[in-house]
C-alpha cells in the first residue's frame, strides 16, 4: 500500500473502531452524524438522510467493524426493503444447501421501482431481437433505465465485498446529493450481497473462534489460516465461480434465472485476492474469448478508466490487464458477456480477518477492503448511469448481430437425435434453456443435411439473440488468439511459466459425450420450445408383465433407477454381457433385471422409479433369452447396495472431494460417508464395500501412514473396492496396490546432472546445446491447465458395460501413467492416438499421452483397485463419464467377493 492509502486507513480506523464503537446512537440526528462521518471516511462527502437505517442501527456495530454473518447482512437488507418499499425490491431466488436464503435487491428511484414490471418487460423485449422491430427497440433504448448487477462474496472467505454491499445500498438510499439521485433516475441497481452464504458463514464462525485478546495481523496466525475446507467454497465445496457452465449449484443456477429475468446491462463480481496485492479492475488480461466483441471491450475500458479516476482521487493503488483473463465463460464475470451485457471481476487485497500485516509492513484492515469495494461499486454505477443509452443500444446490437452471425454460419444449426444417450440429451436441452438459449424439440420425424431425425429430437438454431451463448456452450472448440499461443510457447521454450489461467475447452456436447450434427439450414419441422426440465419422467412398457422388468443400461436414467431401487431395498441383478430377450429386444451389457420372484410389490415400485429416474422400463412375461446369458447365469450378478466411504479433509483436494460427493449424492442419488485420514487408518472398514480416494494436495502416504496402507490393503484383500481419482492413483502405485508407474517427461538424451560436485570441462557451442544442458534429467511432463481429451474404451469388461466406445475427459496437470501389464490387470479406458478433442495442449504431452491409461482395473484377492488417472467428476460437468463411474462403484461392489 502507498502512503496515501495508509492515511485513509488511519482515518477509517479512527472512525470505525474508535469512539463510534462506544457510542450507541439512538436519535435520528446522531445516526445521521455517524453515517456522514463514515461516508466521509469512505471518500464521499455528501449529506445523508437520517431516515435511512444505518448498519449500526440495525446490526449493533458500525460498518466494517465486524465481519458480518450472512444472517446479519440479510437482516439489514430486509430492513431496507421494509422501510423503503418504494425504492427497494427484495427478491428471493433460492436456498443454499445449508438452507440459507439466496436473494437480491433492486434499488432505484421511486419512479423506476413503481415501473419495475415494465422495466423487466422492456428488457425482455430488447433481448428478443428476433421479435422486436428496430423502431420498438429505439423507443425502448430512449426510455428504459440502464441497469447494473453487483454480485458480492461468491468466494465465502473473500470477506470485504458483502460488507461493501450494505454500504452501497445505504449510500444509494440515504445520499441526498443530486448526483446520486440522477444515477438512480437513470439506473436500476441490483445488489446480490452474499452469493455464497454457506461459505461465508463457515469463514465467519471459524474466524471468530480463533480470535484472542486482540486481532492478529500475523499471516502465520490461526486467524489467517483456515482449516480444511476454507470458506471459499459452498457446502459441496464447489468453486462457485466455475459453475456458470454446468449450473449444478443452487447459488449459481438461481442467480442465472434471476439475471435472465432482469437482463442487467453490466455485471460486476467483487472478489478478494492475496493480501500483498492492491486492487484489480477491468480491462481483463489476454486472452479474450473471440466471441467478445470490440464494443464490449471498449466499454470495459471505459469503466476501468472511470474507476481509475475515483481511485486516483483517493490515492488508492490498483492494477489492470495483467491477470484474470476473459477466455473461459464459466466465471460469473464472463457468463453475462455472451448475452450481450458487460461483465467484470474486481479484486481487492484481502485482510482475511480484521487486520493483516503486508510484506511492506503496512497494516491492511478489513475496513480498507470494504472501502475500496464500496468506492469501486459506486464508481461503476456512475459509469453505467452516464452510458445509459449507449449500453442499451450496444446490448440490442449484440443480440441482433448474433442473429445475423447465426444465419451466415455454416454450422447454423446443432441437431441432437438423442438415441445414444436420451438422459444426457434431455439434460443438455434443459440446461441450454436454463442458460437462456432457445432449444427446439421436433414434434415429428424430419431430415436435415441428409440425416434423419426421429420425433422428439432437439435442435438449436444459432440464428437467435442468444447466439453467442449458444456458441460458447456448444462449439467444439473456441480458438485462442494465435499471438497469445505463440507467446506461451516462447515462454515455455525459455523455461518460464505459461499464462494460461484455466481450462481451454468446455464444450457441453463433448463433455456430455453426445452425438450431434450441424447443418447450415434450419430444418422445416413443426417444433416446440424445450423446457428447463433436466429429467423427463420415464415409463414402464408392459407394466403387467408376469416375470419381471429389464432396464436397459447406458445412461443416467438407468443409473438413477439403480440407485433408487437399491435404496428402496429391491433385489436388482445386472448382466455383465449384452443379451437378446425373447421379445427380440437387444439389451446392452449392464442392463438391470428385477423379477417378481425376488421382489414382492414390484409393479408399483417400478412404476414409481421409472417416473422419478427417467428410465424406460421393459416388462417381460418370460425369462427366456435367445442370445447371451440367462437371468440365472454367473454372468448376471446380484447388485448389493454398497456402503460408500470417501476420504475427507486434509490432504484431500476439497474441490475433488466436493465434486465427487456431489455427483454421487445429488446426481446419482446415493449417500456417501465422509471419513478423515486418522479414522481411515485404523477403523474397521468391513462395514464398507467401496472406498473412494479423491485427488489430494498433500501427501496421502504421510496422511494415511503405514497403518493406513496396511488397513486399506487388508480391506481390499477381504473384498473391498478401492477407487482412486487423479493423483490419488499415485498413492495406489506407491503402495503396490496398482502395478502402474508414473512417467517423467520424455528425455531422449539425459545429461547426467548427478550429484557430483566436480565434473569434466565442457564446451557448449550453441544456444540449443545450452538449453539441452539446463534441462533437468528427471523432470515431470509439462503442466496443462486443462483440455478435453479423446479416450478409447475396451468394451470387453463389466467396467465398460453400456459405455460408448469413445469418451471424452478433461485432462489437467502433468500425470501420465504406464499401462498395466496383462498379468496385473486391464487398461479399461486409454487415451486415443489422436489425444486432443478440444483446447490447447502442448505437442509433447499429446504424443506422450497417446495410448496411456485413463482407467485401470487390478484385482487383488477378494477385492480390487479401480484407478482413474484424472478426475471423472471434474466440476461435475463430465456427464459423459457418469456411466463409467456408476459401473466402477456398483459394478465393482457386485464383482468383489467378500465373505458374507
Q: Point out which span in 156-164, 176-184, 307-315, 763-771 binds Zn ion (CB under 5 A).
A: 156-164
Nearer of residues 140 and 159 to Zn ion, judged by Cβ:
159
At 630, phi and psi to the nearest 5?
-75, 170
Contact pattern from residue 66 through residue 105 relative to Zn ion, giving x for each residue in contact according to CB under 5 A and a dash for the rest: ----------------------------------------
Nearer of residues 152 and 798 to Zn ion, judged by Cβ:
152
CB of residue 270 to Zn ion, shortest distance in Å: 9
**Rounded Cα distance, 276 and 685, in Å:** 45
**Rounded Cα distance, 158 and 241, in Å:** 12
**Rounded Cα distance, 392 and 64, in Å:** 35
Q: Point out which span in 31-39, 271-279, 801-809, 884-892 binds Zn ion (CB under 5 A).
A: 271-279
Q: Point out which span in 268-276, 280-288, 639-647, 668-676 binds Zn ion (CB under 5 A).
A: 268-276
Nearer of residues 126 and 245 to Zn ion, judged by Cβ:
245
CB of residue 383 to Zn ion, shortest distance in Å: 22
Residue nearest to Zn ion (CB): 271
Q: Point out which span in 265-273, 301-309, 388-396, 551-559 binds Zn ion (CB under 5 A).
A: 265-273
Say if strands 146-152 and 279-280 run parallel, antiparallel, or are unpaired. unpaired
Nearer of residues 155 and 637 to Zn ion, judged by Cβ:
155
* Full DSSP string of 768-790: HHHHHHHS-TTPPPPPEEEEEEE
Tell the burial category of 546 from Cβ atoms under 10 Å away from its Cβ (0-12, 13-18, 19+): exposed
Q: Point out which span in 149-157, 788-796, 826-834, 870-878 binds Zn ion (CB under 5 A).
A: 149-157
Q: Point out which span in 133-141, 150-158, 630-638, 830-838 binds Zn ion (CB under 5 A).
A: 150-158
* Full DSSP string of 701-760: HHHHHHHHHHHHHHHHHTT-EEEE-TTHHHHHHHTTSS---B-----SS-----S-SS--
CB of residue 502 to Zn ion, shortest distance in Å: 13
DSSP-derived 3-state class of residue 272 = strand
Q: Point out which span in 157-165, 420-428, 776-784, 846-854 binds Zn ion (CB under 5 A).
A: 157-165
CB of residue 238 to Zn ion, shortest distance in Å: 13
**Rounded Cα distance, 317 and 548, in Å:** 72
Give the residue from 461, 430, 459, 438 showing the smallest Cα distance to 447.
459
The three cell numbers of residue 851 are: 495410448
Q: Find residue 634's DSSP bridge partners.
A: none
CB of residue 153 to Zn ion, shortest distance in Å: 9
Tell whether omega for the bond before 674 is within 30 degrees of 0, i.e. cis.
no
CB of residue 640 to Zn ion, shortest distance in Å: 43
Nearer of residues 245 and 578 to Zn ion, judged by Cβ:
245
CB 810 within 8 A of CB 503: yes
Q: Find residue 863's DSSP bridge partners.
A: 860
Nearer of residues 155 and 215 to Zn ion, judged by Cβ:
155
Nearer of residues 155 and 200 to Zn ion, judged by Cβ:
155
CB 28 within 8 A of CB 387: no
Match 449500453 to its residue by C-alpha cell: 391
| Three-state SS annotation for 556-574 | HHHHHHHHHHHHCCCCEEE
Give the residue from 178, 102, 233, 204 showing the smallest Cα distance to 657.
233
CB of residue 550 to Zn ion, shortest distance in Å: 49
Nearer of residues 271 and 467 to Zn ion, judged by Cβ:
271
| Three-state SS annotation for 60-111 | CCCCCCCCCCHHHHHHHHHHHHHHCCCCEEEEEEEECCCCCEEEEEEECCHH
Q: Is 471 in the site for Zn ion (CB under 5 A)?
A: no
Give the residue from 328, 85, 329, 93 showing the smallest Cα distance to 195.
93
Q: Point out which span in 151-159, 390-398, 444-452, 649-657 binds Zn ion (CB under 5 A).
A: 151-159
Tell the burial category of 407 from Cβ atoms under 10 Å away from its Cβ (0-12, 13-18, 19+): middle
Applying CB under 5 A, which of residues 9, 66, 100, 155 lies at the interface with Zn ion?
155
CB 16 within 8 A of CB 35: no
Tell the burial category of 850 from Cβ atoms under 10 Å away from its Cβ (0-12, 13-18, 19+): middle
CB of residue 332 to Zn ion, shortest distance in Å: 9
Within 488-517, the residues that bind Zn ion by CB under 5 A are: none
Nearer of residues 233 and 488 to Zn ion, judged by Cβ:
233
The three cell numbers of residue 13 are: 480506523
**Rounded Cα distance, 72 and 106, in Å:** 19
Nearer of residues 242 and 659 to Zn ion, judged by Cβ:
242
CB of residue 490 to Zn ion, shortest distance in Å: 30
CB 893 within 8 A of CB 690: yes
CB of residue 70 to Zn ion, shortest distance in Å: 17
CB of residue 155 to Zn ion, shortest distance in Å: 4
Residue count at the site for Zn ion (CB under 5 A)? 3
Contact pattern from residue 158 through residue 187 relative to Zn ion, giving x for each residue in contact according to CB under 5 A and a dash for the rest: x-----------------------------
Say if strands 451-453 and 548-551 run parallel, antiparallel, or are unpaired. unpaired
The three cell numbers of residue 547 are: 416375470
CB of residue 199 to Zn ion, shortest distance in Å: 10
Applying CB under 5 A, which of residues 202, 215, 271, 659 lies at the interface with Zn ion?
271
Give the residue from 485, 488, 504 showing the smallest Cα distance to 496.
488
Nearer of residues 233 and 253 to Zn ion, judged by Cβ:
233
CB of residue 832 to Zn ion, shortest distance in Å: 36
**Rounded Cα distance, 801 and 795, in Å:** 7
CB of residue 135 to Zn ion, shortest distance in Å: 43
DSSP-derived 3-state class of residue 273 = strand
CB of residue 875 to Zn ion, shortest distance in Å: 16
Nearer of residues 271 and 826 to Zn ion, judged by Cβ:
271
CB of residue 158 to Zn ion, shortest distance in Å: 5
Nearer of residues 196 and 380 to Zn ion, judged by Cβ:
196
**Rounded Cα distance, 553 and 728, in Å:** 29
Nearer of residues 34 and 333 to Zn ion, judged by Cβ:
333
Give the residue from 513, 626, 601, 605 showing the smallest Cα distance to 551.
605
CB of residue 351 to Zn ion, shortest distance in Å: 15
CB 562 within 8 A of CB 592: yes
Nearer of residues 145 and 231 to Zn ion, judged by Cβ:
231
- What does DSSP assign to residue 203? H
Nearer of residues 271 and 388 to Zn ion, judged by Cβ:
271
Nearer of residues 251 and 382 to Zn ion, judged by Cβ:
251
**Rounded Cα distance, 155 and 371, in Å:** 18
Q: How many CB atoms lie within 10 A of CB 1?
A: 21
Nearer of residues 380 and 513 to Zn ion, judged by Cβ:
380
CB of residue 240 to Zn ion, shortest distance in Å: 9
**Interface ranges with Zn ion (CB under 5 A):** 155, 158, 271
Amino acid at each position: 500500500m502507498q502512503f496515501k492509502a495508509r492515511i485513509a486507513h488511519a482515518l477509517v480506523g479512527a472512525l470505525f473502531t474508535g469512539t463510534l464503537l462506544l457510542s450507541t446512537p439512538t436519535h435520528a440526528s446522531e445516526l445521521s452524524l455517524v453515517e456522514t462521518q463514515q461516508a466521509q471516511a469512505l471518500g464521499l462527502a455528501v449529506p445523508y438522510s437520517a431516515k435511512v437505517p444505518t448498519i449500526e442501527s440495525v446490526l449493533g456495530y458500525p460498518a466494517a467493524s465486524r465481519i458480518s454473518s450472512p444472517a446479519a447482512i440479510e437482516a439489514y437488507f430486509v430492513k431496507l426493503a421494509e422501510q423503503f418499499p418504494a425504492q427497494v425490491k427484495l427478491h428471493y431466488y433460492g436456498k443454499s444447501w445449508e438452507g440459507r436464503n439466496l436473494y437480491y435487491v433492486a434499488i432505484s428511484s421511486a419512479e423506476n421501482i413503481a415501473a419495475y414490471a415494465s422495466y423487466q418487460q422492456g428488457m425482455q423485449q430488447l433481448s428478443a431481437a428476433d421479435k422486436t422491430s428496430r423502431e420498438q427497440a429505439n423507443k425502448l433504448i430512449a426510455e428504459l433505465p440502464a441497469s447494473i448487477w453487483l454480485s458480492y462474496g461468491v468466494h465465502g472467505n473473500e470477506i470485504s465485498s458483502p460488507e461493501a454491499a450494505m454500504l452501497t445500498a445505504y449510500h444509494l438510499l440515504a445520499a441526498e446529493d443530486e448526483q446520486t439521485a440522477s444515477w438512480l433516475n437513470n439506473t436500476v441497481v441490483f445488489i446480490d450481497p452474499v452469493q455464497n452464504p454457506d461459505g461465508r458463514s463457515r469463514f465467519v464462525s471459524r474466524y471468530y473462534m480463533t480470535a484472542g485478546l486482540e486481532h492478529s495481523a500475523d499471516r502465520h496466525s490461526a486467524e489467517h489460516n483456515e482449516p480444511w475446507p476454507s470458506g471459499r467454497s459452498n457446502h459441496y465445496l464447489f468453486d462457485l465461480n466455475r459453475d456458470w457452465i454446468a449450473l449444478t449449484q443452487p447459488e449459481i443456477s438461481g442467480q442465472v434465472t434471476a439475471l435472465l429475468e432482469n437482463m442487467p446491462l453490466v455485471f460486476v463480481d467483487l472478489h478478494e485476492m492475496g493480501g500483498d496485492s492492491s486492487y484489480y479492475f477491468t480491462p481483463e488480461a489476454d486472452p479474450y474469448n473471440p466471441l467478445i466483441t470490440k464494443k464490449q471491450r471498449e466499454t470495459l475500458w471505459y469503466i476501468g478508466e472511470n474507476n481509475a479516476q475515483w481511485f486516483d482521487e483517493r490515492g488508492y493503488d490498483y492494477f489492470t490487464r495483467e491477470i484474470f483473463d476473459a477466455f473461459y465463460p464459466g466465471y460469473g464475470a464472463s457468463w453475462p458477456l455472451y448475452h450481450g451485457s458487460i461483465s467484470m471481476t474486481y479484486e481487492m487485497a484481502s485482510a482475511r480477518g480484521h487486520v493483516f500485516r503486508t510484506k511492506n509492513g503496512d497494516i491492511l484492515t478489513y475496513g480498507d477492503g470494504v472501502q475500496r469495494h464500496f468506492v469501486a461499486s459506486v464508481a461503476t454505477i456512475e459509469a453505467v448511469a452516464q452510458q445509459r443509452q449507449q449500453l442499451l443500444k450496444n446490448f440490442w446490437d449484440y443480440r441482433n448481430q448474433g442473429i445475423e452471425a447465426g444465419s451466415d454460419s455454416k454450422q447454423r444449426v446443432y441437431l441432437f437425435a438423442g438415441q445414444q444417450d436420451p438422459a444426457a440429451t434431455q439434460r443438455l436441452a434443459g440446461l441450454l434453456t436454463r442458460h437462456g438459449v432457445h432449444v427446439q424439440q421436433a414434434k415429428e420425424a424430419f431430415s436435415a443435411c441428409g440425416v434423419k431425425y426421429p420425433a422428439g429430437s432437439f435442435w438449436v438454431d444459432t440464428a437467435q439473440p442468444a447466439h453467442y451463448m449458444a456458441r460458447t456452450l456448444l462449439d467444439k472448440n473456441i480458438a485462442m488468439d494465435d499471438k497469445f499461443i505463440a507467446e506461451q510457447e516462447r515462454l515455455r521454450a525459455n523455461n518460464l511459466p505459461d499464462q494460461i489461467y484455466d481450462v481451454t475447452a468446455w464444450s457441453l456436447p463433448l463433455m456430455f459425450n453426445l452425438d450431434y450434427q450441424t447443418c447450415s439450414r434450419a430444418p422445416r419441422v413443426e417444433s416446440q420450445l424445450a423446457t428447463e426440465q433436466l429429467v423427463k419422467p420415464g415409463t414402464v412398457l408392459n407394466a403387467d408383465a408376469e416375470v419381471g422388468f429389464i432396464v436397459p443400461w447406458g445412461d443416467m436414467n438407468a443409473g438413477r433407477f439403480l440407485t433408487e431401487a437399491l435404496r428402496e431395498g429391491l433385489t436388482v441383478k445386472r448382466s455383465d454381457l449384452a443379451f437378446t430377450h425373447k421379445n427380440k429386444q437387444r439389451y446392452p451389457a449392464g442392463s438391470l433385471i428385477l423379477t417378481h420372484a425376488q421382489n414382492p410389490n414390484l409393479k408399483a415400485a417400478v412404476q414409481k422409479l421409472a417416473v422419478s429416474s427417467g428410465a424406460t422400463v421393459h416388462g417381460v412375461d418370460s425369462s427366456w433369452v435367445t442370445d447371451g446369458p440367462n437371468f440365472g447365469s454367473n454372468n448376471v450378478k446380484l447388485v448389493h447396495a454398497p456402503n460408500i466411504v470417501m476420504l475427507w479433509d486434509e490432504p484431500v483436494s476439497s474441490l475433488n472431494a466436493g465434486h465427487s460427493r456431489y455427483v454421487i449424492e445429488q446426481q446419482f442419488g446415493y449417500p456417501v460417508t465422509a471419513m478423515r485420514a486418522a479414522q481411515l487408518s485404523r477403523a474397521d472398514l468391513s462395514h464398507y464395500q467401496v472406498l473412494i480416494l479423491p485427488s489430494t494436495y498433500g501427501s496421502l502416504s504421510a496422511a494415511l501412514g503405514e497403518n493406513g496402507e496396511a488397513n486399506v490393503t487388508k480391506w481390499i484383500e477381504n473384498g473391498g473396492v478401492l477407487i482412486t481419482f487423479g493423483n490419488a492413483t499415485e498413492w495406489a502405485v506407491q503402495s503396490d496396490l496398482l502395478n502402474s508407474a508414473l512417467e517423467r517427461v520424455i528425455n531422449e538424451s539425459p545429461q547426467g546432472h548427478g550429484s557430483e560436485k566436480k565434473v569434466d570441462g565442457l564446451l557448449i557451442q550453441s544456444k540449443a546445446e545450452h538449453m539441452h544442458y539446463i534441462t533437468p534429467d528427471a523432470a515431470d511432463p509439462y503442466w496443462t491447465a486443462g483440455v478435453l481429451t479423446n479416450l478409447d474404451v475396451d468394451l470387453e469388461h463389466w467396467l465398460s458395460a453400456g459405455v460408448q466406445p469413445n469418451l471424452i475427459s478433461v485432462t489437467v496437470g502433468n500425470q501420465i501413467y504406464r499401462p498395466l501389464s496383462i498379468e496385473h490387470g486391464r487398461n479399461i479406458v486409454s487415451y486415443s492416438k489422436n489425444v486432443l478433442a478440444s483446447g490447447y495442449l502442448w505437442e509433447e504431452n499429446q504424443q506422450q499421452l497417446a495410448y496411456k491409461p485413463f482407467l485401470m482395473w487390478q484385482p487383488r484377492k477378494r477385492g480390487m483397485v479401480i484407478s482413474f488417472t484424472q478426475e471423472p467428476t471434474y466440476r461435475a460437468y463430465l456427464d459423459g463419464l457418469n456411466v463409467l463411474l456408476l459401473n466402477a462403484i456398483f459394478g465393482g461392489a457386485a464383482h468383489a467377493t467378500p465373505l458374507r
